[in-house]
């Protein structure tokens, strides 16, 4: 039997975030849908950047944020994603390693620069993302090391990565490498992303996915049940063994074949920036699941991690999540490390 010494391996678009505070009017003037993610090319990235306010740069990338969250909770995590050998790539690699996540994917030495996500944070704390994928699209199946995947209890696939064809193959390879006792999880990432790839997502879920993460908009896009969350949840139950549906301030719903567990959101004193909230929910949930906690606890850990990241600018925890989670986990049964 293979030794599973990593809790979760995440695969996703490796990005550096450029965050700026903008008025609602700016988002509108730029023709953007508040709260969504838009893929942009290099020319549009330049145009938008020139129009944006002064920014703060922090490492991001959805699955990368999730892996950082797993590590912050005290779990072990590894990441697969692609950056270039440029300054933003230096920042990405430094930060993910400094946060305790194993990262050994070779860097692109030519082609597009490291990808970035321009995130407009409006006064309501909502974020509107504009992603220039750059080098992250050059991830290929060769970057997925079977030995690394074999060490993981769970694999976490980022729906955003379904856009570039080679990267899609890399995700499929990672999923196919998994044994029956490994958890293959997928996050749908964005409702527009689900619309773009509807059938192939359904196919991936049917073939490989054990655990699905989605917010209610993404779930509606996947199940084509837009009117009633309960119908959408029932539909999800047919598609996958386990699903965790996030609903913002309304918390989340954990869906199993026989059960529907409603998990409240954790209180957030000041909603500063929701960037990374979904990513960190997945981190808490995956940490719980790979540490033998019951599903209600997994959901509660997701709520806790999401609340931390909403309370400040940037998509990665600023507080030690293991410390924050200690009162919650005290006395609850879990896997002995």
The binding site for a copy of itself (CB under 8 A) comprises 21, 49-50, 52-59, 86-88, 91, 94-96, 98-99, 113-114, 314, 316, 318
Q: Which is nearer to a copy of itself, 96 or 243 (CB)?
A: 96
**What are the residues whose beta carbons fall under 8 Å from the beta carbon of 154, sequence distance 6 or more?**
7, 8, 9, 182, 183, 184, 185, 211, 286, 289, 290
Q: Which is nearer to a copy of itself, 50 or 238 (CB)?
A: 50
Least distance to a copy of itself, CB of residue 192, Å: 27
95-117 burial code (b ≥16 CB/10 A, e <16): bbeebebbbebebbeeebbbbbb
CA angle centred on 58, ends 55 and 61, rounded to 5°: 120
Least distance to a copy of itself, CB of residue 94, Å: 6
Least distance to a copy of itself, CB of residue 18, Å: 8
Least distance to a copy of itself, CB of residue 20, Å: 8
Q: Are the beta carbons of 102 and 147 closer than 8 angstroms?
A: no
Q: Which is nearer to a copy of itself, 118 or 205 (CB)?
A: 118
Q: What is the largest CA-CA distance in the chain?
A: 57
Number of neighbouring beta carbons within 10 Å of residue 272 = 15
Least distance to a copy of itself, CB of residue 99, Å: 5
Least distance to a copy of itself, CB of residue 64, Å: 11
Q: Which is nearer to a copy of itself, 86 or 145 (CB)?
A: 86
Dihedral (CA of 228, 31, 138, 135) sign:
negative
Q: Which is nearer to a copy of itself, 299 or 317 (CB)?
A: 317
Give the tokens for residue 209. 């996915």
Q: Which is nearer to a copy of itself, 71 or 232 (CB)?
A: 71
């Amino acid at each position: 039997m293979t030794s599973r010494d990593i809790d979760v391996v995440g695969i996703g678009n490796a990005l550096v975030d450029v965050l700026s505070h903008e008025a609602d009017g700016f988002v509108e003037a730029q023709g953007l849908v508040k709260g969504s993610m838009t893929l942009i090319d290099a020319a549009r990235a330049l145009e938008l950047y020139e129009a944006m306010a002064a920014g703060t740069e922090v490492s991001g990338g959805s699955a990368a944020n999730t892996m950082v969250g797993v590590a912050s909770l005290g779990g072990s995590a590894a990441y697969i994603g692609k950056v270039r050998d440029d300054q933003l790539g230096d920042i990405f690699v430094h930060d993910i390693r400094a946060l305790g996540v194993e990262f050994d994917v070779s860097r692109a030495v030519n082609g597009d620069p490291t990808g970035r996500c321009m995130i407009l944070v409006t006064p309501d704390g909502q974020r509107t993302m504009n992603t220039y994928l750059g080098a992250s699209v050059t991830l290929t199946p060769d970057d997925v090391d079977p030995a690394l995947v074999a060490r993981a209890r769970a694999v976490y696939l980022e729906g955003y990565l379904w856009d570039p064809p080679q990267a899609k193959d890399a995700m499929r390879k990672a999923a196919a490498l998994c044994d029956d006792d490994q958890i293959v999880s997928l996050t749908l990432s964005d409702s527009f992303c689900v619309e773009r790839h509807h059938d192939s997502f359904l196919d991936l879920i049917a073939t490989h996915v054990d655990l699905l993460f989605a917010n209610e908009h993404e779930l509606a896009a996947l199940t084509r049940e837009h009117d009633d969350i309960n119908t959408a949840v029932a539909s999800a139950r047919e598609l996958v063994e386990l699903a965790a549906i996030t609903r913002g301030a309304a918390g989340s719903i954990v869906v199993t074949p026989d059960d529907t567990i409603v998990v409240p959101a954790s209180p957030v004193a000041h909603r500063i920036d929701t960037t990374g909230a979904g990513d960190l929910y997945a981190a808490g949930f995956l940490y719980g699941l790979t540490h033998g906690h019951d599903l209600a606890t997994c959901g509660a850990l997701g709520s806790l991690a999401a609340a931390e990241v909403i309370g400040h600018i940037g998509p990665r925890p600023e507080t030690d999540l293991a410390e924050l989670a200690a009162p919650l986990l005290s006395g609850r049964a879990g896997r002995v490390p």
